[in-house]
Amino acid sequence: MIVMAQVIPPTSTGNIGLEPLARKAANCTACGLATNRTNVVFGIGDPRADLMFVGEGPGREEDIAGEPFVGKSGKLLDRLMQQELGIVRSQCYIANVVKCRPPNNRNPFEEEISACRPFLEAQIREIDPAVIVTLGNFATRLLLDTTEGIKKVRGRSYRYAIQAGTATARIAAGRMPEKITHLVPTFHPAAALRGGPSVVTEMRADFARAKLLLAQPILQGSDTHPGQRPATPG
């Protein structure tokens, strides 16, 4: 089933490229998470990747390394990528909802998510992936604009509209160019480590779904794949 997700509009970050965006994030003090961070964990991988993973936020090891998913969760993510998708992390792009570690690995607060959201939205626009895989509740709820938990929304894919371009380009064109990509929600690897083999099995199924979608053509505007139509969440 394919469901329309929210549209990402341009934000104050504009379309400036990943490297300048990372430099801007490195100096960000928009929320309290900047106070105790060791490193801003911006993201890693191929800036032209067809596949993008979005997690929750950095933990202790990620804060030290400045790279997302380097601990036990990262090892599981790497293994599932290799076994189910046939890729390594340099062949995709990995980012998080928040770029700085919440104290004691607590859940990020709404104001922290809101402060970091423009960076994630700009990353998605710059990378322009064919498929986005959201890892866990926070990334899934943010990008699908839902309050439902991961257990309810995983197991299917969603149509996801990305709007690109600056305000000047929008005015000149008279409208915002739109690309329809796919979003596949799945569990956070940390939840799989806690939940055991059954959760890992469900993650494998979601990764397999993402692999199938990567083989499908990119959708433009309101077009759908042959034989498929937009549906409402259920």
* Residue range 113-155, pLDDT digits in tens: 999 999 999 999 999 999 999 999 999 999 999 999 999 999 9
CA atoms within 13 A on the CB side of 33: 32
- DSSP, res 34: G
Q: In the prediction, which pLDDT does 218 show?
A: 61
Cα–Cα distance for residue pair 160/182, rounded to 1 Å: 5
Of 44 and 177, the structure prediction assigns the larger pLDDT to: 44
Q: Are 2 and 234 in contact (CB under 8 A)?
A: no
**Domains of the chain by residue range:** 18-220
Q: How far, in Å, are 13, 25, 123, 176 from residue 221 at the CA level?
A: 24, 31, 20, 10
Q: DSSP characters for 38-99?
A: SS----EE-TT-SEEEEES---HHHHHHTSSS-SHHHHHHHHHIIIIIS--GGGSEEEESSS
Task: Give the confidence band of 232 by pLDDT, cuts at 50, 70, 90.
Answer: very low
For the whole model, what pTM was predicted? 0.83
**pLDDT-wise least confident of 55-59, 152-156, 166-170:** 166-170
Cα–Cα distance for residue pair 28/16, rounded to 1 Å: 16
Q: Which fold has domain 18-220?
A: Uracil-DNA Glycosylase, subunit E (3.40.470)
Cα angle, residue 29 at apex, residues 25 and 35 outer, rounded to 5°: 115
Contacts of residue 11, defined as CB under 8 A and 6 or more positions apart, other chains included, come to 117, 118, 121, 122
Residue 97: what residue type? V
* Structural tokens at position 157: 């894919």
Q: In the prediction, which pLDDT does 169 show?
A: 37
Q: Are 6 and 143 in contact (CB under 8 A)?
A: yes
